[in-house]
């Protein structure tokens, strides 16, 4: 994928952290960014900041666990902007730091539903249109904990290991030149990291904005030659 031409980029989880940093970086380079998140307030702020005047709204309130929400979002955005050339499944949550047997069924289901089912809902409603358009890259955000494990994050590890397998299987199903990869973004100081590491996470120097300077062009460079490979932001 060329970094010089304008891309249509759909990103989930744009209200904070890496999602918001990617919105800012890609928008500042002239790309069309279509984003979703659950926060009505944050989505309103994004539309006010990036969609001034008569520009169509590019940010939508969506709960990716709700398939009807995702279907509506995909239909509205594709109708206005066409199929995305880059689909970034960034939205995810982690669990509270506890041993697996201490985590409630409700919390476990929430992590599974958002990280796996939510990602799949987005794929289900965007990828067929990308196939019709004959182009596009799907990047499913994984984690170092999708390739290794640690105590107290078993539900999160389970979902990210699942994202690795789901992405590699999808990669085999996609017709060329479409591409799918699982991407480990690295260790960045985000609210999610602070949930897992507390003060140690808050002390991390790698901010989402600094991360985006390297990660966003790297993501733009992903092409069919990397289809199905587990990638990590340099």
Burial of residue 66 (CB within 10 Å: 0-12, 13-18, 19+) is middle
User: Under a CB-based contact definition with an 8 Å cutoff, are residues 59 and 50 in contact?
Assistant: yes
- As a 3-state breakdown, the chain gives helix, strand, coil percent values, each rounded to 5, of 50, 15, 35
Gap between the Cα atoms of 222 and 7, Å rounded: 13
Q: Give the other-Cβ count within 10 Å of 221's Cβ.
A: 12
Query: Which residue in this structure is represented by tokens 């587990």?
Result: 230
Sign of CA dihedral 97, 18, 34, 88: negative
Q: Give catalytic status of residue 26 as yes or no.
A: no
User: Under a CB-based contact definition with an 8 Å cutoff, are residues 210 and 111 in contact?
Assistant: no
- List 156, 179, 181, 192, catalytic entry: 156
User: Could you list the active site residues?
Assistant: 156
């Amino acid at each position: 994928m060329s970094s010089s031409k304008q891309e249509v980029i759909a990103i989930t989880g744009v209200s904070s952290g890496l999602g918001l940093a990617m919105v800012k970086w890609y928008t500042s380079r002239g790309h069309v960014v279509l984003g979703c998140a659950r926060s009505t307030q944050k989505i309103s702020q994004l539309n006010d900041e990036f969609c001034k005047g008569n520009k169509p709204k590019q940010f939508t309130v969506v709960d990716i666990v709700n398939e009807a929400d995702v279907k509506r979002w995909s239909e509205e955005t594709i109708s206005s902007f066409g199929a995305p050339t880059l689909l970034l499944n960034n939205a995810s949550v982690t669990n509270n730091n506890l041993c697996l047997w201490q985590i409630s069924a409700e919390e476990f289901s929430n992590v599974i539903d958002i990280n796996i089912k939510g990602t799949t809902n987005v794929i289900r409603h965007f990828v067929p249109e990308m196939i019709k358009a004959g182009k596009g890259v799907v990047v499913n955000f994984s984690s170092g904990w999708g390739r290794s494990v640690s105590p107290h994050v078993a539900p999160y590890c389970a979902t990210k290991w699942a994202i690795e397998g789901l992405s590699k299987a999808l990669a085999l199903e996609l017709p060329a030149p479409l591409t799918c990869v699982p991407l480990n973004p690295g260790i960045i100081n985000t609210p999610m990291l602070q949930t897992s590491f507390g003060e140690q996470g808050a002390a991390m120097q790698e901010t989402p904005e600094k991360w985006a300077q390297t990660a966003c062009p790297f993501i733009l460079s992903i092409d069919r030659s990397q289809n199905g490979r587990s990638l990590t932001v340099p």
